Amino acid sequence: MSIRTVTFDAIVVGGGGAGMRASLQMAQSGFKTALISKVFPTRSHTVSAQGGITCAIASADPNDDWRWHMYDTVKGSDYIGDQDAIEYMCSVGPEAVFELEHMGLPFSRFENGRIYQRPFGGQSKGPDDPTQAARTCAAADRTGHALLHTLYQQNLKAGTQFYSEWYGIDLVTTGDGKVAGVIAASIETGEVVFFKAKATVFATGGAGRIYSSTTNALINTGDGIGMALRAGLPVQDIEMWQFHPTGIAGAGTLVTEGCRGEGGYLINKDGERFMERYAPNAKDLAGRDVVARAMMMEILDGRGCGPNGDHVHLKLDHLGEEVLHSRLPGICELSKTFGHADPVKEPIPVVPTCHYMMGGIPTNIHGQAIRLSGGHEGEKEYVDGLFAVGEVACVSVHGANRLGGNSLLDLVVFGRAAGLYIEEALRQGMEQAEPNSDDMDRALSRLRRWEESSDGESVADLRQDLQSTMQNAFGVFRKGDLMADGVKKVAELRERIGKAHLADKSQTFNTARIEALELDNLLEVAQATAVAADSRTESRGAHSRYDFPDRDDENWLCHSIYDPKTQKLGKRDVNFKPKTVDTFQPKVRTY
């Protein structure tokens, strides 16, 4: 197959918050930049983010300090977030947030005209003062929408070249492991093109769709992770999946932690505010992993609500109609539409739901992808030409559990950092890797497999099998025997998916083809997750095992590194050396 080549200095795959912050940086510097996105950029998942962007801009509290934010984040990560990266994010954060405001983001405001900040889970005033802080900057409960549209608008202004509704299929790598660009197809016409660039930036977002119940958009299929794994690159901490406490029961759609930040709380069927028992100090605003587990305990102990006792209630009516309509207007809409409950009058039925992928492609703070699997010197080896930012990346600032509002900050801080780094590298004469025809063939082989398929199982059935396997074996609580079984099932699914059938081979807006290609990626993420979860023999952050209920710092105070070539788990050191503050030493995590 011979295909057209288009050449750029840099290409960004992904038009969410991370991708558009990176492309903006590069477009403004005048380098030839393209942004490829499988949906029109403002339809990316970032648009769904509700509660806000956490950052010590010292608006709600003039004495706020980014070091406190850093402390909370390190603690929230259950101590496997890299402290140099967290330091960078929390200290650079205010600049990145003020930039967003200058770009026009319509933040909500305090009386004095400064940006409104609300309390979110896991926020304190530093190691010595557990007082609840209010550090999450918000545009009502539509912060992601406001942020994404603002970034799109600025990219329009800067003249970024958009390839909307183009689908990234696979990386093009050379024999010596350099990245030369990606193969992508126009969804509208079916044309397959080689996007050749000195720098390829992955900003493809999360993969919540490996589970049957998730807060994630239908397009969150882990394409970037799939492409990296197929290229033989490792992923880090991929067993760490955040289950958000408040997904609407049955529907999976999210209601923000900001509901509890504004004063809402969870109750069981007896009307008891049960978080007082599990986290006496922070209560409903403890870390998400802690709250999600507490909810599951209540449900498993028979104190769940509803006829099947399979959810709990989020109570908001005491906040009053005015607060609800001004601070949480989107939540009121969502709850009525998907939970059949008007929060002004009745509680919302909620249940922990798959929400966020803490793991991803390991990178440094410039977004450079790290190659080495296992081994403690891994930091030094980079994949030439490949960068990753946003949810697909693992810098790592979230470790084993992300704090609310820290993802949006991660997107803009590291999207910008990668943009700045690439700008400079291009100026200094970054090299273009040159693939030969074998390299091109390799990159096109997966697409060809589907095109040549003539019979086999359907994509929809296989996807359902995969999702229910993950849901049953790798949820909030995990168990050795169930996981071992899950690992086996996923391996079998690999066989089956390798033989699956794409019936519709037409070129024009063929969504069946896209769903088939996405299924391969779901499988890659699922298998990495399964193996990593089964191999990490401890409980930490979001990874919680019945058979290993305790944190094991002796053996597992480290990143996990999944190597697709061996399908085995290795380890990598966590960074405990921030540049300007003292190390935060691991402590028992209580809220």
Ligand X SMILES: Cc1cc2nc3c(=O)[nH]c(=O)nc-3n(C[C@H](O)[C@H](O)[C@H](O)COP(=O)(O)OP(=O)(O)OC[C@H]3O[C@@H](n4cnc5c(N)ncnc54)[C@H](O)[C@@H]3O)c2cc1C
The catalytic site residues sit at: 288
Residue 375: C-alpha distances to residues 132, 367, 568 (Å) = 39, 20, 13
Q: Residues of 447-471 as b/e, b for ≥16 C-beta within 10 angstroms? A: beebeebeeeeebeebbebbbebbb
Q: Do 378 and 372 contact (CB within 8 A), yes or no?
A: yes
Task: Supply the minimum distance, in Å, between the C-beta of residue 390 and other proteins.
Answer: 16
By rule CB under 6 A, what count of residues binds ligand X? 46
DSSP string across 468-523: HHHHHHSSSSB-HHHHHHHHHHHHHHHHHHTT--------TT-HHHHHHHHHHHHH
Which residues of the chain form contacts with other proteins (CB under 8 A)?
A: 39-40, 42-45, 47-48, 57, 97-98, 101-104, 106-115, 139, 142, 145-146, 149, 153-154, 156-157, 188, 217-219, 253, 330, 333-334, 337-338, 458-460, 503-504, 506-512, 515
**Rounded Cα gap, residues 354 and 252, in angstroms:** 8
Q: Which of 288, 241, 292, 216 is nearest to 528 (CA)?
A: 241
Which entry of ligand X, other proteins, none binds 40, CB below 5 to 8 A by partner kind? other proteins
What one-character DSSP code corresponds to residue 433?
Answer: P
Which entry of other proteins, ligand X, none binds 419, CB below 5 to 8 A by partner kind? none
The two tokens of residue 166 are: 């183009």
Residue bearing tokens 């977030």: 81
Q: Which of 87, 365, 391 is nearest to 216 (CA)?
A: 391
By CB under 6 A, tell whether 162 contacts ligand X. no
Task: Supply the minimum distance, in Å, between the C-beta of residue 108 and ligand X.
Answer: 13
Which entry of other proteins, ligand X, none binds 343, CB below 5 to 8 A by partner kind? none
Task: Supply the minimum distance, in Å, between the C-beta of residue 98 and ligand X.
Answer: 17
Task: Supply the minimum distance, in Å, between the C-beta of residue 489 and ligand X.
Answer: 25
Which entry of other proteins, ligand X, none binds 108, CB below 5 to 8 A by partner kind? other proteins
By CB under 6 A, tell whether 288 contacts ligand X. no
Which entry of ligand X, other proteins, none binds 460, CB below 5 to 8 A by partner kind? other proteins
Identity of the residue, 114 or 568, whose beta carbon is nearer to other proteins in the bound complex: 114
Identity of the residue, 95 or 301, whose beta carbon is nearer to other proteins in the bound complex: 95
**Rounded Cα gap, residues 99 and 416, in angstroms:** 11
By CB under 6 A, tell whether 181 contacts ligand X. no
Q: Characterize the bridge pairing of strands 136-137 and 53-54.
A: antiparallel
> Of the listed pieces 22-30, 218-226, 376-384, 427-435, which binds ligand X according to CB under 6 A?
218-226
- Residue 486's contacts (CB-CB under 8 Å, 6 or more residues apart) are 469, 470, 472, 473, 474, 530, 534
Which entry of ligand X, other proteins, none binds 101, CB below 5 to 8 A by partner kind? other proteins
**CA angle, corner 68, sides to 66 and 70, nearest 5?**
70
**CA angle, corner 528, sides to 524 and 533, nearest 5?**
150
State which amino acid sits at residue 33. Answer: T
Contacting residue, 51, 93, 122, 181, with ligand X by CB under 6 A? 51
The two tokens of residue 407 are: 């993802």
By CB under 6 A, tell whether 204 contacts ligand X. yes
Q: Which helix (H) or strand (E) holds 97?
A: helix 83-103
The two tokens of residue 366 are: 């410039």
Which entry of ligand X, other proteins, none binds 18, CB below 5 to 8 A by partner kind? ligand X
Peptide linkage before 48 cis (omega within 30 of 0): no
Task: Supply the minimum distance, in Å, between the C-beta of residue 398 and other proteins.
Answer: 22
Mask for 222-261, x = binds ligand X (CB under 6 A): -x------------------------------x-x-----
Identity of the residue, 329 or 549, whose beta carbon is nearer to other proteins in the bound complex: 329
Residue 576: C-alpha distances to residues 282, 355, 551, 558, 580 (Å) = 26, 27, 18, 11, 12
Which entry of ligand X, other proteins, none binds 335, CB below 5 to 8 A by partner kind? none
Which entry of ligand X, other proteins, none binds 356, CB below 5 to 8 A by partner kind? ligand X
Task: Supply the minimum distance, in Å, between the C-beta of residue 511 and other proteins.
Answer: 5
Identity of the residue, 74 or 395, whose beta carbon is nearer to ligand X in the bound complex: 395
Mask for 378-407, x = binds ligand X (CB under 6 A): ------------xxx------------xxx
What one-character DSSP code corresponds to residue 45?
Answer: G
Which entry of other proteins, ligand X, none binds 541, CB below 5 to 8 A by partner kind? none
> Of the listed pieces 47-55, 376-384, 502-510, 528-536, which binds ligand X according to CB under 6 A?
47-55
> Of the listed pieces 40-48, 92-100, 341-349, 456-464, which binds ligand X according to CB under 6 A?
40-48
Beta bridge partners of 368: 387
Q: Which of 433, 455, 457 is nearest to 443 (CA)?
A: 433
Contacting residue, 49, 370, 394, 443, with ligand X by CB under 6 A? 49
Q: In what order do the strands lie in the sheet with 312-315?
A: 241-248, 348-357, 312-315, 265-267
Residue bearing tokens 């025997």: 481
CB atoms within 10 A of CB 590: 13
Q: Which of 47, 34, 10, 57 is nearest to 150 (CA)?
A: 47
Task: Supply the minimum distance, in Å, between the C-beta of residue 34 and other proteins.
Answer: 17
Mask for 305-344, x = binds ligand X (CB under 6 A): ----------------------------------------
Identity of the residue, 338 or 556, whose beta carbon is nearer to ligand X in the bound complex: 338
Contacting residue, 124, 143, 242, 539, with ligand X by CB under 6 A? 143
Identity of the residue, 80 or 148, whose beta carbon is nearer to other proteins in the bound complex: 148
Identity of the residue, 213 or 539, whose beta carbon is nearer to ligand X in the bound complex: 213
- Residue 59's contacts (CB-CB under 8 Å, 6 or more residues apart) are 110, 114, 115, 116, 117, 137
Task: Supply the minimum distance, in Å, between the C-beta of residue 134 and other proteins.
Answer: 16
| Closest residue to ligand X, based on beta-carbon distance | 16
Positions that interact with ligand X (CB under 6 A): 13-19, 36-39, 41, 44-46, 48-53, 143-144, 167-168, 203-206, 215-216, 219-220, 223, 254, 256, 355-356, 390-392, 405-408, 411
